[in-house]
Structure 1
Amino acid sequence: MLTNYLKIAIRTLRKQRGFTFINVFGLALGLACCLLITLYVVDELSYDRFHEKADRIYRINADIKFGGNDMRMAVSPDPMGPTLLKDYPQVENFVRLHHRGDWLVKRAGQPNNLREKDIIFADSTLFDVFTLPLVAGDAKRALTEPNTVVISESAAKRHFGNQNPVGQTLVFDNQLTCRVTGVMRNMPTNSHFRTDFFLCMRSDNYDWGRWLSNNHYTYILLKEGVDPQTFSRNFETVIQKYVGPQAVQFIGTTVDQFRKAGNRMNYWMIPLTDIHLHSRQNIEIAPNSDMQYVYVFSAVAVFILLIACINFMNLSTARSANRAKEVGVRKVLGSVQRQLIGQFMTESVLMAVLAMGLALIIVTLVVPFFNEISAKQLTIDSVFSPQFLPVLVGLPLVVGLLAGSYPAFFLSSFRPISVLKGRLNLGLKSAGLRSGLVVFQFMMSVILIVGTMVVYRQINFIQTTKLGFNRDQVLTINDAYALENQAEAFRDEVLKLPGVASGSVSGYLPVPSNRSDSPLFPEGQIEQNKAVSTQQWEVDYDYIPTLGMEVKQGRNFSREFGADSTAVILNETAVKIFGFKDPIGKRLSRMMDNEGKVMKSYTVIGVVKNFHFESLRQNIGSVALFMEPNRGAISFRLNGQDIPAVVRQIEAKWRQLAPGMPFTYSFLEDSFDAMYRAEQRVGQIVLTFSVLAILIACLGLFGLAAFMAEQRTKEIGVRKVLGASTVSIIGLLSKDFLKLVLIAILIATPIAWYGMNQWLEDFAYKIDVPWWVFAVAGLVAVLIAFVTVSFQSIKAALTNPVKSLRAE
């Protein structure tokens, strides 16, 4: 029986080549999109699950509000891990990570450094908590001694070639010499942090034991059977027992008084496997993704697949007139409905299998391009993995049964006497289901068009909004600390170049980086309710003009005023939090040690206009600028037209003063744009799949329009003989479809408005969604539908009526 079904199915599909192509190609596009998005979603959901104890590992986050700043951080105090292990038997182990950013690294005895990213200090328990297999060395002893380091296989290859690195030494930043005690496998890409270098935590020059400083990523491993929610209640005890005494010593207040003043101090745990998609903390060790995007892309995959299935159902039911007599004859000859359903379902599944084969070819071709857009490293091999095999086999079967179910039952239900007498009416007006399916297709298309437009408008708003500083043509030199005491000399030499307008040596630049807030007090009022938690940046005289900032009140630092070493410039947010009506001349106190015993007073000499130094998702925090030396960054404002030539000249100056040091640089505009690469990727992915969804919908509409034109061939011929114009015939054939598209627009508009406003809630600075976005999206959908339908309408309208009537 099955063999007979397959033979008939193959003959039918070959006979109706146009119908088969549209259906198979539409399904293939839908399946290819679904496979790509499934690969993306599976990769996103797999983060950190390769660790054998992942279900028992939790990171401790800090939630602190103090001095006008609301800080939700992925870090916690350095004593947190050891204290929890000591005081609570529910904790099996802990490990702390201290992310130190990019460092210069070279093999001992070699003159040239390499710039290595994401250097991390880690406790010796690293390999007990995380699953990071070593290919050389002993994991139990690898990081137990100071000045030791474990490196990845790729780092070993870069620095030691084919030699065994264990026992050899590396020099970090020309200062810290470490012995290689282990080589680990390269960390998987689906990890929320990645590095090629783990240095022993005991090598970190850090002031340990500070409960009020949050600088370490602390992970705890709970014992089997411990309820994390129950255990998290112990943080309040930890705060009262350990944080409280230091708070009294530091700001002269108890934890209860601290909270009564409107402040907040809490610690909580997040599961390791939730960090990548669910953590929205500041100071993450690396940028995370968002579960929201997983939901969005999953929904897009489902919608596209549904659109493809709807095409199949629409075309199959629409073409049913051509199969009606076949059904009638079969029933007269004794076929039962079950056999007819089997025949039509076999045809459907066969087309789905063909579509899956074509989809795999499409996915193989486009995976490299999709990786570029999504910043992933997906491979077609993943599709054929044992875990993915059920999807590969089950998807065409499910799609074939789903897409073919209604046509099969619909066709098999025809009454033979009605069919053979020609009483079967399959016009568009009676096809309510087909109309509903067309509405659904274009509703989804309109939602995707609106989503794409809003995402790109928000990204454009971010890129064009006034930031409070001028990021254009600002060159930042990386690893400026390698110059040591020659940083100012290097700046002065570069300033002599004709293409350089100004330059500055400073501690920080207005782009996201690892930094923390510290309290400032009105002079003589060292009280917690008087403190303002603020960013404290060390800058030089030329910092504000180099970055194009605006002084709203008072003045900038000046070489003409020798007392500016005890001066401070505040931003508008800091002035507002302090409550100063006239801030110029006010005196502030700054703690110069961790115990708060040494204070230094500063005079406010100016107020700088607020500038964004974090993502536009966040409100502008308070900043205080101090005229103090810090060689963390060197920046130059360029004014020449030939930027590459100026950069080459700057590099030549660098080579003279820092031989053996890599010359690396970036532009401030690129660093700022990097914050929004996730949104840019989302926009590109949504745009791509929106185009594909619309293309698939148009394929179905094209086939449906061709069928309706064929059904009304005699009517068109009669109308033309009676004098109907080509335009009126095109309008006659198009209006029914355009009505459905207009209904889809009306339904899609409120859904799209709600969804995009929810997405924009993540941004503190955002666009309003204007009405014309929906109008443009609707107009685009109408034009696409009209062009698709009118192609067949024009073809039918231009047909010679004599041929149409003779064919009838």
Structure 2
Amino acid sequence: MLKNILKIALRSFWKTKSISIINVLGLSLGIALCLIITLFVRNELSYDKHFTNSDRIYRVASDIVFGGNAYKMTFAPAPMAEALMEEIPEVEAAVHFRNQGSFLIKRYDDNIKETNIIFAGKKFLEVFDIPLVQGSKRGALDEPNTMLISQTMADKFFKGENAVGQSLILDNASDYKITGVYEDIPDNTHFNFQVLLSAEGLDEAKSPLWLGNNFQTYMLVNPGTDQKELEQKITAMTQKHLIPVLKQVLGEDFTLEQFIASGNKVEYFLQPLLDIHLHSDLMGEFKANFSSTYIYMFVAIAVFILLIACINFMNLATAKSSNRAKEVGVRKSMGSGRGELIFQFMAETFLMSFISFVLAIFIASLLLPFFNDLAGRNLILPIGEIGFYVGLMLGAVSVGLIAGIYPSLFLSGFKPAKVLKGDVSNGMKSSAVRSSLVVFQFSISIILIFCTIVLFSQMNFIQNKNLGFNKDQVIMVHDLYALGSQKQTFKQEVLGSSLIEKGTLSGFLPVSGTNRSDNPWWVMGRDIQDQENMVSIQNWKVDFDYVNTLGMKVVQGRDFSLDFPSDSSAVIINESALRNFNFEGDPIGQKISTFSGDNVSGLNTENLDAKTVIGVVENFHFESLKENIGAVLMYIDPNPTGIASFRFKAQDVQEVLQLLENKWKELAPGQPFTYEFLDERFTYMYASETRIGKVFAAFTGFAIFIACMGLFALTAFTAEQRRKEIGIRKALGASVSSLVLLLSKEFTKLVLIAFVIAAPLAWWAMSKWLEDYQYRIQLGWGTFLFAISVVMLIAWSVMGVQSLRAASTNPVDSLKGE
């Protein structure tokens, strides 16, 4: 029996070679795209699972509202980690991290710039149980000036040697002894550092101050610990330590109730390690995380593509039903039951499904490198995993059932008496199935096109929005500290070139990855024990040319100037700071104060730092456009460090780079020259969204292509069903154009119905997505009109080809059977 089924299936395939090839290729492409998305989603869901006890590791994050500003951050106070271990029994171990950017590292002579470096507390290996390939875990980071390095770093500096016990020099100044080499951390982690420096040698790591928030803190808890109960204990612990400090600052009559009633709060909450990659977008993330929203979007695309491919399979199977109608009639006349015919057609479908899955693996292997390039991932087909093949088998069976059940019922339902006389008009012609399928396909197509347009429109809006500063034609030269006392010399010699317009020295720039510092300030003379007078504000150290170089607009007062020696104790604030300070009268000339010192012992109200406001600049974006613009003040740094930024003229960029590199090598021989363009750094802030947009557009294109194959099949089906009608109309004088219009009119109506269904769904989906951005585009009908215009153009093109072919058929061929 199986032999006969296989023979009939092969004969059927061979008889309609073109349709069979289209059927298999369409299904294979849909399965391949679904397979790639499945690999991508699996990878995103696997983040941080490789850590031992990952389900018991939490990060402490902060939710702070103070002084008119609100922050949700990954940061906690320096003493938090130690207090967690000492005061909360459920905490087995806790570790804090301090990221201070890049370092220059060398073994002997030549420095190499390394960015994946972080200071870590001594309990690191107890919280993150990473295997060591060299050295011992015991006391690995207990001593100052010790370090752990990855296997990659060990191979870079100590190829073929035992790195333990040897040293590396950081920033030409500090020797760090290597106490262990750990296995490379996989890419699918939010925490991926190549070098861990002992935080025991970091002064601020020993600070007892609970007002500062500069450290990322992680902890390993006992099995069975309840997260909510643990958060309550942490809240009680932080209040115990924080309230005395706030009383010292705000007065002994301070109460937590008054603090909260004033709209302020300092709260800490827990983030499970396994949730960070998909559910966290806080200030201070180690790297840009993904979003669970995008996971849902990609899963939806995978389901839609697979359904569209299966619908195409059904349409193509039924579109040429007349080719097998007589076969069904003869077999039924000879005694075959409907169940036997259903089994025959389902067997053929399963065979095509298995063939499609084999081809899909090949297609996926071809498309995967392009997807990796678009998505910034390194996915591979898991051909060595048994589960991969089990999944393929289950998938082939599932797709076979979905794609084959309707054609099997449809074809096996023909009446012998009718089909043997040539009547195959039953089924889809009079039913709503065909209309439902085309509406479904083009509803999805319209939604995908609309979402893609909105994604790219938002990214274009971000790139072209007035940011409050000019990001174009500015080059950033990093590691200014490598110049030592030659920083100003470097700046002046570079400015001496006709290629350079302006320059500034500052590590504080309005793009992510640069310095940030936040302190409370107040208008001098106001009662600092009144919480409403305190303003939490970013404190940026700049030089005299900062505002001018970055193209910021002074809206009140003036810029810093060397002609005014008093500007060394002056500040320029932005409009958000102006609003939060709520000055009485003209702000220019008024003084503001903060605690003196670097957040160590600066709580003495007799030890204050006062500065005079000399200017107000227009608000500028210094964080993602997902955030509101916060308050910023800028003051002169007598010894600037960090980054040298130069605005260059619109000439040959290579000349500018050559100039900067030559000057660098003259003043800092042996130090690596690293640079970056400000606009590229700004774009990097939205790299994740940009990649998602490109990937989304690619899958949208594939989905529309597959949908067009289905439309081609439906048009062929309609032409097949109306073959004799077309012949009669043409014999009576109907023109080809009128027949094309006749065949296309019905599908045009269905596309319009699809638009009515898709529009509210697409509007709702993208409105929810845009809610993440404080600054965003406005959705308008123009986007919908463009989406449906694209769909209509594609649909008419596909329908036109098939309709023209049907309308051009000689009526003699259509009517000769009558």
Query: Where on the TM-score scale, by shorter chain, does this alignment land: which range?
Result: over 0.9
| Cα drift, residue 350 of structure 1 | 1.0
> 1:646 maps to what in 2?
656
Secondary structure of the 1:468 match is coil
| SS in structure 1 of the partner of residue 798 of structure 2 | helix
| Contact in 2 for aligned 1:124/1:140 (Cα 8 Å) | no
1:616 and 2:625 aligned: yes
Q: Which amino acid aligns with 2:406?
A: Y
Q: Which residue of 1 aligns with 2:540?
A: 537
**Which aligned pairs between 1:211-360 and structure 2 lie closer than 5 A?**
211-252=210-251, 253-360=254-361
Alpha-carbon separation, structure 2, partners of 1:386 and 1:140: 38
SS at match of 1:603: strand
Q: Is the 8 A contact 1:468 1:611 kept in 2?
A: yes
Q: Distance in 2 between matches of 1:718 and 1:334?
A: 37
Residue from 571, 585, 592 that aligns with 2:589: 585
* 1:189-204 aligned within 5 A: 189-204=187-202
For the structure 1 residues 98 and 237, does the alpha-carbon distance in structure 2 shift closer, same or farther, using more than 3 Å as the test? same
Structure 2 counterpart of 1:249, one-letter code: Q
1:659-674 to structure 2, matched below 5 A, reads: 659-674=669-684
Q: Please say which of residues 651-660 and 523-532 is displaced more in the overlay.
A: 523-532
Identity of aligned residues (%): 48
Deviation at 1:442, TM superposition (A): 0.5
Alpha-carbon contact 1:428-1:708 (below 8 Å) kept = no
Aligned residue type for 2:592 = L
The 3-state SS of whatever aligns with 2:470 is coil
Native 8 Å contact 1:151 1:182 kept in 2 = yes
Q: Does the CA-based 8 Å contact 2:458-2:776 persist in structure 1?
A: yes
Shift, 1:324, TM fit: 2.4
Question: Is 1:706 the counterpart of 2:707 in the alignment?
Answer: no
Who is 1:469 aligned against? 469
Q: Residue 596 in 1 paired to residue 603 in 2? A: yes
Distance verdict in 2 for CA 1:123–1:389, change over 3 Å: farther
Alignment partner, residue 388 of structure 2: 388
Deviation at 1:710, TM superposition (A): 3.2
Please say if residues 19 and 703 of structure 1, whose CA atoms lie closer than 8 Å, have aligned partners that are also in contact.
no
Q: Deviations over 1:222-246 (max 9, x none)?
A: 1112111222111221122111112
1:145 aligns with 143
Structure-2 separation of matches of 1:410 and 1:472: 63
2:793 paired residue number? 783
Structure 1, 731-740 or 686-695: larger mean CA deviation: 731-740
Residue 256 of structure 1: CA displacement? 3.3
Contact persistence 2:539–2:634 (CA under 8 A): yes
8 Å Cα contact 2:516-2:540 kept in structure 1? no
Structure-to-structure mapping, 1:335-484, within 5 angstroms: 335-380=336-381, 382-426=382-426, 429-484=429-484
Q: Give secondary structure in 2 for the equivalent of 1:238.
A: helix
Give the conservation status (yes or no) of the 8 Å contact 2:56–2:220. Answer: yes
Displacement of 1:561:
0.8
The residue identity in structure 2 corresponding to 1:36 is I
Cα drift, residue 424 of structure 1: 4.1
Give 1:10 shift.
1.8
Q: Is the 8 A contact 2:319 2:716 kept in 1?
A: no
- Determine which of 134, 141, 148 is the counterpart of 1:136: 134
> AA paired with 1:596?
L
Aligned match of 2:93: 93
8 Å CA contact 1:588, 1:603 repeated in 2: yes
Q: 1:626 aligns with which of 635, 640, 650?
A: 635
Is 1:497 paired with 2:501? Answer: no
In structure 2, distance between residues paired with 1:793 and 1:417:
30
SS of 1:97 mapped into structure 2: strand
Q: Runs of 5+ in structure 2 lacking a partner?
A: none
Counterpart CA distance in 2 for 1:326 and 1:124 is 78
- Give the structure 2 partner of residue 682 of structure 1: 692
Provide the C-alpha distance between the structure 2 equivalents of 1:385 and 1:255, rounded to a whole number of angstroms.
Answer: 57
Is residue 81 of structure 1 aligned with residue 81 of structure 2? yes
Aligned partner of 1:321: which letter? S
Aligned position for 2:203 = 205
Q: Indicate conservation of the 8 Å contact 2:554/2:615, yes or no.
A: yes
Q: Is the 8 A contact 1:318 1:426 kept in 2?
A: no
Read off the aligned partner of 2:42 and give its amino acid letter.
Answer: V
Contact kept? 1:22, 1:703, Cα under 8 Å: no
TM-score, normalisation: structure 2: 0.96
Amino acid at match of 2:684: A
2:20 aligned residue: 20
C-alpha change, 1:13 and 1:299, in structure 2 (3 Å) is same
Give the secondary-structure state (helix, strand or coil) at the position aligned to 2:64: strand
2: distance between equivalents of 1:501 and 1:121?
A: 38
SS of corresponding position for 2:658: helix
Does residue 170 in structure 1 map to residue 180 in structure 2?
Answer: no
Cα pair 1:245 1:254 within 8 Å, conserved: no
8 Å CA contact 1:484, 1:631 repeated in 2: no
User: Which stretch shifts more, 361-370 or 325-334?
Assistant: 325-334
Query: Equivalents in 2 of 1:386, 1:268: separation in Å?
Result: 41
Moved beyond 6 Å, runs of 4+: none
Alignment gaps of 5+ in structure 1 = none
Provide TM-score, normalisation by structure 1: 0.97
Structure 1: distance between partners of 2:616 and 2:739: 71
Read off the aligned partner of 1:54 and give its amino acid letter. Answer: S
Residue identity opposite 2:241 in structure 1: Y
2:775 corresponds to 1:765: yes
Answer whether contact 1:539 1:626 (CA < 8 A) is retained: yes
Check conservation: 2:473, 2:650, Cα contact below 8 A.
no
Alpha-carbon shift at residue 87 of structure 1 (Å)? 1.2
The residue aligned with 1:743 is 753
Counterpart secondary structure, 2:98: strand
Q: After superposition, give the CA deviation of every residue in 1:624-659 in whole Å (9 maximum; x if it has no partner).
A: 010123212211110141111111011100001111
Could you tell me how far apart the structure 1 residues matched to 2:586 and 2:180 are? 59
Distance 1:411 1:677, change over 3 A: same
- Preserved CA contact (<8 Å) 1:383 1:392: no
- Amino acid in the other structure paired with 1:670: E
- Residue deviations 1:198-254, cap 9 Å, x none? 111212232522211111111111111211122211122112211111222234344
Determine the C-alpha separation between the residues in 2 that align with 1:453 and 1:725: 39
Match of 1:71? 71
How far apart are residue 711 of structure 1 and its match? Answer: 3.3
- Which residue, out of 719, 732, 744, partners 2:729? 719
Q: Which amino acid aligns with 2:746?
A: D
1:45-60 equivalent positions in 2, closer than 5 A = 45-60=45-60
Q: Tell me whether 120-129 or 660-669 shows the greater mean CA deviation.
A: 120-129
> Per-residue deviation at 1:387?
3.8
Q: Tell me the amino acid that sits aligned with residue 65 of structure 1.
A: V
Deviations 1:471-527 (A, max 9, x none): 111111111111122111110111111100111112301112352311111113323
Equivalents in 2 of 1:329, 1:428: separation in Å? 22
Once the two structures are superposed, residues 691-732 of structure 1 have per-residue CA deviations (whole angstroms, 9 ceiling, x without a partner) of: 101100111111222232233333222222211111101111
Separation (CA, whole Å) in 1 of partners of 2:650 and 2:420: 84
Distance across 1 between alignment mates of 2:363 and 2:486: 56
Structure 1: which amino acid aligns with 2:200? R
* SS state at 2:615 partner: strand
Residue in 2 that maps onto 1:487: 487
More off after superposition, 405-414 vs 264-273: 405-414
Aligned position for 1:658: 668
Cα offset, 1:770, TM superposition: 1.3
* 1:3 CA drift (Å): 3.0
User: Deviation at 1:736?
Assistant: 1.4
Question: Structure 1: which amino acid aligns with 2:37?
Answer: I
Indicate if the aligned counterparts of 1:619 and 1:764 stay in contact, CA closer than 8 A: yes
Note the C-alpha offset of 1:189.
Answer: 0.4
* Greater mean deviation of Cα atoms: 223-232 or 441-450: 223-232
Q: Are 1:802 and 2:812 matched, yes or no?
A: yes
- Corresponding residue number in structure 1 for 2:158: 160
